C-alpha cells in the first residue's frame, strides 16, 4: 500500500512561532516544495493558548497577544505556496530524512531534502521533581491548565497553589485570579524567579499574589482531589529544611517547574543533543549533527519570548532551503564552550573562518554590572566583549562576534 | 442503573481484581448466572494495579503452602491463558542475586524449597553466568529461574473480565456491597446499584475482604494492609533490562525485597517497599522510601544511578500477618465458611496472587462444583475481542486502518503513540469504565514521559464527545473530579 514516497524540498515539523517562520524562511531562500506539518488542528502552536499580551515587540515592534502574533505569521504562510497540514503528527524521522506522518487524511511516508525541527517543548511534571504524597486529581502542569482554561473554557479548581515561577505559571496565576480562583501563592525553590521580571510584576505583585522564594512543595495531600499541599523552605542545596513546613489548603496544584525541548524525533534521527540546553548541538546555520536536519525554537533551547524563536526559525528555514538546493556547508568544527557564570551559549559549533555571527546565551544566576567576554580557548584572544547592567537567568541574551574565528571559544561573564 | 427485578445469580463474585476476574472467567465456562460486583469505577483498581507484574515461578514461598501449590499450578496455566486472551506477556527468566559469597546458602535454600514445590529448572549460577544472562546484573551467585516472566497485571485483569462478559457474565462497577442478608437459602447482597440474590458468593475483595466477610457475620480473619512504593523509569532510559533482578530476600522485609523489573514496553520498575499502614487505601509515596528504593536498587544495579524516573506509585498487599505479631508468613485462605455454607472466602491473596489467580479460580470452581452441577457451555469462548495498538502496527497496516477509519489518524498521546480510535474503543468498554485512569490503563495514554500533559486536554474533549459532562470527568471516580464545570464568559 505504501510504496511511493512523496518528496518535498523542505519539511518543517511544528507550526508554532519557530516552525511558521522556518517555512517562510525556506520559501525566501528559494525552496520550491515546502511542507509544514502541525499536529494540532490549527497552526500557531502554544501561541493559541497564550491569550495574554506581550508578544511581537521585536518582530512586529508592538505588543500583541499570542493568537494575534500567530495570525500574522499564518497570514504570511498562506500567501506562499507552502503545503500546510494540520492535525498531522510526525511519528518517525530517519537519519536519511524519511518521515512517517499520521493524520485523519492518511498515514504516509515522506522524503525531505532538508528537515527543520520545530517541535517546541513540553513541561516538566510532578514526577520529574519527585513530589511525594498522594496522587489525587487536581495536579496540572501550568500549560495543560492554560489549554483547559483558555481553549476549553473549563474551571479547573477553586483554590490553587502554583509551584515554580516559570512564565506560564505566572501568567496562569493572573488568569486564574481573573476567573475567581483563589491563588494562594507561587512557590519557587531558587532564590530568584525563573520567569520574566515583567511577568512577576504584572501577574503577581499587581494582584497581591505572594511569591515565596527558596520554598517548595514537599507533599501533596488528599485522596481523591487535592486537599492541601505542604510547603517548606529549602537550604542552599535546595533540600527542605525540617521544621519549616506549613500546610496550604487548596484543591489545585499547578506546576511551572521548567520546560524540556521535545527531542523524541530528533533522537530517532540520531541528532546529538546538548546536556546544557536539552536541544540539538547546532552550528551557525542551525544544522544539527545529522546533515540536512536543522533545529530552531524551543526544541533547540527554551526561549524567553516567541520573537527569538521566530528569528531562529527564519534562519533555520533559509539554511534548510540552501541545503535542499544542494549547498553543502563545511560544517562546524570550532567549538564554543560555556564559561564561568554562563549556563549555555548557542550555537555550540561554528564553521572555521566564519565572521559576524550572533550568539544567544543565558547566565546561570542573576548578575549585576557584568561584562560578557568571548575568548579564544587557545590564544586568550578576545573576540567580543559586551557590558550589561543586569543579567537574569530568565532572559536570553545576544552577543555579536565580528571577527573570523578559527579556534575554540569560551563565553564567560564577569562581575 | 438500579436493579429492579430480583434475578437470582448462581454466583456473585465480590471484587474485580485479578483473582475475582479469574474466578468469573473460569466460572463463565459453565452454564451459570454470574455477576461480579466492584466498588470502584474500574476493574483492577486495588491490589491488582500496584504490583511488579511478575509471573512468579514459586520458589519464594514455603513448599506445601497453598501459596506454593497455587503458584506452581498457576505458572502452568498463566502463559497459555495470557496468550489465549491476547494479553502482552513475556517469559523473561529471573535472577535472585547474592552480592556477598556467604549468601549462597540462602540461594540454595530457595532452590531446595522450589524443587520441593515442583518449580521447574531452577539453577544456581556463578558470576559469569549472571553477566551472560543479564548484563546489567551483578553478584557473586544467583538463583536463575528460567520460567519466571512479566505481564501487565491490570491488562490481564481487564482481559479476564472481558472474556467472562463475552460469555454472559455480568460486571457492575461502583457497586460496593454494603449489607449482606440471608433469605430462603440465598445471600442477598445490597449495593447502591441494587440488591442481588446469590446461591454462592465468592469474596475476593482484597484488602476489604475481612470487612465484607463481617457483613455476612463471618469474623474469622483480619487483613493488614502493607504498602509497597514503586518508581518507574522512562522507556528510553538508556538501559535495556531483560529480566527481573531480585536481591536475596532480606530477613526483616515482609516482601521479597526491593527488586528491579522490566515492563513489556521497556520501562524499568524499582520497588516495592513493604510497610504496614493503617489505611487500606493509603497509596501515598514518601520521600524517605523513594530514597531507600533508589539506594537499594542502586546496590543491585549501579547503572540505575544515571536514569530518571517518570512516575512513582504505590500498591497495597492484603496480608493476614499482623505486623505486631510473631508470625512472618501468612498463607492464602481459600475456604468455604462453616457458618455460612455457599460463602467462599479468598483471603490474604497477596504475592504471588497474580500468578496463582488462574489456579485459585479453578479451586473455586471445584468447590462450587462439589455442591452443584456444573455443566460446561458448548459455546464457551476462551478469547476476547482483540485490542489493536497503533504503536505496534507496521506501515501498511497503519495506512490501511487510517484509510478505513480516520480516527486511527488522530494522535491523542504523543509519547505512547495512541490514536483517537483506541481511546474511543477504550471508553466503549463493556463495563462502562469512563475515568481518565480507565483510559490510561487500556490505552497507555498518559503513561509516557509527559505524564498526560499533552493527552489530558485531548481526552477531556473526547470524553465530552462521548457524552460525559465536563464536571463528571474524574481521574478514578468518587471525589476525584478533574474540573468544576465551565467558566462563565
Of A288, A306, A329, which marks where a domain is finished?
Answer: A329
Q: Is B174 on the interface with A (CB under 8 A)?
A: no
Nearest-CA neighbor of A118 among A345, A241, A272, A301? A301
Same domain (yes/no): A89, A112: yes
Same domain (yes/no): A253, A129: yes
| Tens-place pLDDT, residues A280-301 | 999 999 999 999 999 999 999 9
Q: Which pLDDT belongs to residue A2?
A: 63
Same domain (yes/no): A276, A129: no
- How far is A388 from chain B, CA to nearest CA, in Å? 37
| Tens-place pLDDT, residues A90-128 | 999 999 999 999 999 999 999 999 999 999 999 999 988
Work out how many domains chain A is built from and give that number. Answer: 3
CB contact under 8 A, A155 and B451: no
Instruction: Flag whether A91 is in a domain.
Output: yes
B56 an active-site residue?
yes
Of A311, A329, A347, which marks where a domain is finished?
Answer: A329
Q: Mutual orientation of helices B353-369 and B153-166 as an angle, nearest 10°?
A: 30
Asked whether the beta carbons of A184 and A159 are under 8 A apart, the reply is: yes
Same domain (yes/no): A42, A98: yes
Asked whether the beta carbons of B19 and B350 are under 8 A apart, the reply is: no
Quickly tell me which residue has 510473631 as its cell: B326
Instruction: Flag whether A201 is in a domain.
Output: yes
Q: What is the CATH number of the domain that holds A375?
A: 2.60.40
Q: What is the CATH number of the domain that holds A79?
A: 3.50.50.60
Domain that holds residue A86: 6-122+260-329
Q: Is B421 on the interface with A (CB under 8 A)?
A: no
C-alpha to C-alpha distance for B462 and B443, rounded to whole angstroms = 14
C-alpha to C-alpha distance for B26 and B12, rounded to whole angstroms = 13
Same domain (yes/no): A264, A116: yes
Dig out the grid coordinates for A132 from the structure. Answer: 511525594
C-alpha to C-alpha distance for B205 and A121, rounded to whole angstroms = 44
Q: Which pLDDT belongs to residue A1?
A: 52
Residue of A nearest to B288 (CA): A132
Same domain (yes/no): A353, A321: no
Same domain (yes/no): A129, A252: yes
CB count in 10 Å sphere of residue A385: 11
Q: Which pLDDT belongs to residue B342?
A: 97
CB contact under 8 A, B309 and A130: yes
* Residue A91, C-beta contacts closer than 8 angstroms, at least 6 positions apart: A100, A101, A102, B411, B417
State the average pLDDT over residues A32-37.
97
Q: Looking at chain B, how many residues does it have? A: 489
**Chain A CB contacts of B450 below 8 Å:** 122-123, 125
Instruction: Flag whether A253 is in a domain.
Output: yes
* A356 has pLDDT over 80: yes
C-alpha to C-alpha distance for B63 and A186, rounded to whole angstroms = 57
C-alpha to C-alpha distance for B14 and B346, rounded to whole angstroms = 10
Same domain (yes/no): A408, A309: no
With cut-offs at 50, 70 and 90, classify the pLDDT of residue B369: very high
Same domain (yes/no): A239, A274: no
Of A224, A257, A290, which marks where a domain is finished?
Answer: A257
Instruction: Flag whether A360 is in a domain.
Output: yes
Instruction: Flag whether A224 is in a domain.
Output: yes
* B101 has pLDDT over 70: yes
β-sheet bridge partners, residue B321: none
Same domain (yes/no): A270, A372: no
State the average pLDDT over residues A376-383.
94
Degrees, nearest 5: CA angle B272-B442-B383: 105
Q: What is the ipTM of this complex?
A: 0.94
Q: Which pLDDT belongs to residue B2?
A: 45
CB contact under 8 A, B452 and A144: yes
Same domain (yes/no): A193, A84: no
* B114 has pLDDT over 70: yes
**Domains of chain B in sequence order:** 1-88+149-222+323-383 (3.50.50.60), 89-148+224-319 (3.30.9.10), 390-472 (1.10.10)
With cut-offs at 50, 70 and 90, classify the pLDDT of residue A240: very high
With cut-offs at 50, 70 and 90, classify the pLDDT of residue B220: very high
Instruction: Flag whether A1 is in a domain.
Output: no
β-sheet bridge partners, residue A77: none
pTM of the predicted model as reported, rounded to 2 decimal places: 0.94
Same domain (yes/no): A135, A207: yes
C-alpha to C-alpha distance for B20 and B461, rounded to whole angstroms = 33
Amino acid at each position: 500500500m505504501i510504496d511511493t514516497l512523496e518528496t518535498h524540498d523542505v519539511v518543517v515539523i511544528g507550526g508554532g512561532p519557530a516552525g511558521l517562520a522556518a517555512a517562510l524562511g525556506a520559501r525566501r531562500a528559494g525552496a520550491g516544495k515546502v511542507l509544514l506539518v502541525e499536529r494540532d488542528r490549527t497552526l500557531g502552536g502554544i501561541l493559541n493558548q497564550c491569550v495574554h499580551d506581550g508578544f511581537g515587540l521585536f518582530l512586529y515592534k508592538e505588543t500583541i497577544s499570542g493568537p494575534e502574533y500567530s495570525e500574522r505569521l499564518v497570514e504570511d504562510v498562506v500567501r506562499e505556496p507552502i503545503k500546510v497540514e494540520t492535525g498531522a503528527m510526525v511519528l518517525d524521522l530517519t537519519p536519511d530524512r524519511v518521515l512517517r506522518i499520521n493524520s485523519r487524511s492518511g498515514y504516509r511516508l515522506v522524503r525531505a531534502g532538508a528537515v527543520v525541527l520545530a517541535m517546541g517543548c513540553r513541561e516538566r511534571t510532578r514526577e520529574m521533581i519527585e513530589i511525594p504524597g498522594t496522587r489525587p486529581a487536581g495536579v496540572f502542569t501550568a500549560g495543560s491548565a492554560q489549554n483547559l482554561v483558555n481553549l476549553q473554557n473549563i474551571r479547573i479548581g477553586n483554590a490553587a497553589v502554583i509551584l515554580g515561577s516559570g512564565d506560564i505559571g505566572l501568567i496562569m496565576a493572573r488568569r486564574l485570579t481573573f476567573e475567581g480562583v483563589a491563588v494562594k501563592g507561587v512557590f519557587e525553590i531558587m532564590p530568584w524567579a525563573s520567569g520574566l521580571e515583567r511577568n512577576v510584576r504584572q501577574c503577581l505583585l499587581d494582584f497581591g499574589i505572594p511569591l515565596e522564594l527558596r520554598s517548595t512543595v514537599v507533599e501533596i495531600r488528599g485522596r481523591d482531589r487535592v486537599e492541601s499541599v505542604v510547603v517548606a523552605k529549602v537550604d542552599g542545596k535546595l533540600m527542605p529544611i525540617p521544621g519549616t513546613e506549613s500546610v496550604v489548603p487548596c484543591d489545585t496544584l499547578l506546576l511551572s517547574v521548567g520546560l524540556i525541548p521535545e527531542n523524541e524525533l530528533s533522537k530517532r534521527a540520531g541528532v546529538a543533543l546538548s546536556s546544557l540546553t536539552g536541544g540539538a548541538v547546532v552550528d551557525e546555520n542551525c544544522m544539527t549533527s545529522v546533515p540536512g536536519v536543522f533545529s530552531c525554537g524551543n526544541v533547540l533551547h527554551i526561549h524567553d519570548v516567541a520573537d527569538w524563536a521566530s528569528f531562529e526559525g527564519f534562519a533555520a528555514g533559509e539554511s534548510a532551503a540552501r541545503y535542499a538546493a544542494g549547498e553543502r556547508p563545511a560544517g562546524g568544527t570550532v567549538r564554543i564552550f560555556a564559561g564561568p557564570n554562563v549556563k549555555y551559549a548557542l550555537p555550540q559549533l561554528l564553521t572555521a573562518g566564519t565572521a559576524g555571527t550572533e550568539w544567544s546565551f543565558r547566565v546561570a544566576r542573576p548578575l549585576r554590572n557584568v561584562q560578557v567576554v568571548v575568548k579564544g580557548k587557545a590564544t586568550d584572544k578576545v573576540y567580543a566583549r559586551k557590558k550589561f547592567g543586569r543579567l537574569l537567568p530568565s532572559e536570553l541574551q545576544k552577543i555579536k562576534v565580528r571577527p573570523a574565528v578559527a579556534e575554540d571559544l569560551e563565553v564567560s561573564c564577569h562581575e | 442503573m438500579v436493579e429492579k427485578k430480583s434475578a437470582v445469580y448462581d454466583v456473585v463474585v465480590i471484587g474485580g481484581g485479578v483473582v475475582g476476574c479469574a474466578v468469573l472467567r473460569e466460572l463463565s465456562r459453565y452454564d451459570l448466572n454470574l455477576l461480579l460486583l466492584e466498588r470502584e469505577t474500574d476493574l483492577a483498581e486495588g491490589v491488582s494495579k500496584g504490583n511488579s507484574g511478575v509471573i512468579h515461578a514459586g520458589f519464594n514461598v514455603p513448599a506445601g503452602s497453598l501459596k506454593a501449590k497455587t503458584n506452581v499450578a498457576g505458572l502452568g496455566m498463566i502463559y497459555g491463558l495470557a496468550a489465549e486472551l491476547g494479553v502482552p506477556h513475556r517469559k523473561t527468566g529471573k535472577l535472585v542475586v547474592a552480592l556477598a559469597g556467604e549468601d549462597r546458602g540462602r540461594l540454595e535454600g530457595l532452590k531446595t524449597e522450589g524443587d520441593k514445590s515442583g518449580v521447574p529448572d531452577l539453577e544456581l549460577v556463578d558470576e559469569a553466568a549472571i553477566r551472560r544472562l543479564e548484563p546489567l546484573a551483578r553478584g557473586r551467585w544467583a538463583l536463575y529461574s528460567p520460567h519466571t516472566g512479566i505481564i501487565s497485571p491490570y491488562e490481564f485483569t481487564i482481559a479476564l473480565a472481558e472474556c467472562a462478559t463475552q460469555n454472559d457474565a455480568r460486571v457492575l462497577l461502583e457497586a460496593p456491597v454494603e449489607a449482606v442478608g440471608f433469605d430462603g437459602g440465598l445471600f442477598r447482597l445490597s449495593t447502591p446499584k441494587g440488591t442481588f440474590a446469590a446461591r454462592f458468593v465468592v469474596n475476593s475483595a482484597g484488602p476489604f475482604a475481612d470487612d465484607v466477610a463481617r457483613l455476612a457475620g463471618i469474623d474469622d480473619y483480619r487483613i493488614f494492609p502493607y504498602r509497597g512504593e514503586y518508581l518507574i523509569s522512562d522507556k528510553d532510559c538508556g538501559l535495556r533490562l531483560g529480566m527481573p533482578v531480585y536481591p536475596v530476600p532480606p530477613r526483616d522485609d515482609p516482601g521479597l525485597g526491593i527488586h528491579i523489573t522490566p515492563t513489556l514496553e521497556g520501562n524499568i520498575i524499582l520497588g516495592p517497599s513493604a510497610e504496614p499502614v493503617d489505611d487500606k487505601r493509603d497509596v501515598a509515596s514518601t520521600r524517605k522510601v523513594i530514597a531507600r528504593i533508589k539506594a537499594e536498587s542502586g546496590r543491585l544495579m549501579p547503572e540505575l544511578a544515571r536514569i530518571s524516573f517518570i512516575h512513582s506509585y504505590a500498591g497495597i498487599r492484603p496480608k493476614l500477618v499482623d505486623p505486631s505479631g510473631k508470625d512472618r508468613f501468612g498463607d492464602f485462605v481459600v475456604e468455604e465458611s462453616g457458618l455460612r455454607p455457599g460463602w467462599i472466602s479468598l483471603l490474604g491473596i497477596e504475592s504471588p496472587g497474580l500468578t496463582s489467580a488462574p489456579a485459585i479460580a479453578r479451586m473455586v470452581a471445584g468447590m462450587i462444583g462439589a455442591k452443584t452441577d456444573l455443566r460446561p457451555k458448548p459455546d464457551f469462548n476462551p478469547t476476547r475481542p482483540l485490542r489493536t495498538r497503533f504503536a505496534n502496527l507496521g506501515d501498511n497496516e497503519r495506512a490501511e486502518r487510517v484509510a478505513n477509519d480516520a480516527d486511527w489518524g488522530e494522535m491523542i498521546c504523543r509519547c505512547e503513540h495512541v490514536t483517537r480510535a483506541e481511546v474511543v474503543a477504550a471508553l466503549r468498554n463493556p463495563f462502562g469504565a469512563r475515568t481518565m485512569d480507565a483510559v490510561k490503563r487500556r490505552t497507555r495514554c498518559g503513561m509516557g514521559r509527559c505524564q498526560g500533559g499533552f493527552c489530558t486536554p485531548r481526552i477531556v474533549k473526547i470524553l465530552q464527545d462521548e457524552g460525559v459532562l465536563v464536571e463528571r470527568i474524574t481521574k478514578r471516580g468518587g471525589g476525584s473530579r478533574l474540573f468544576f464545570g465551565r467558566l462563565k464568559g
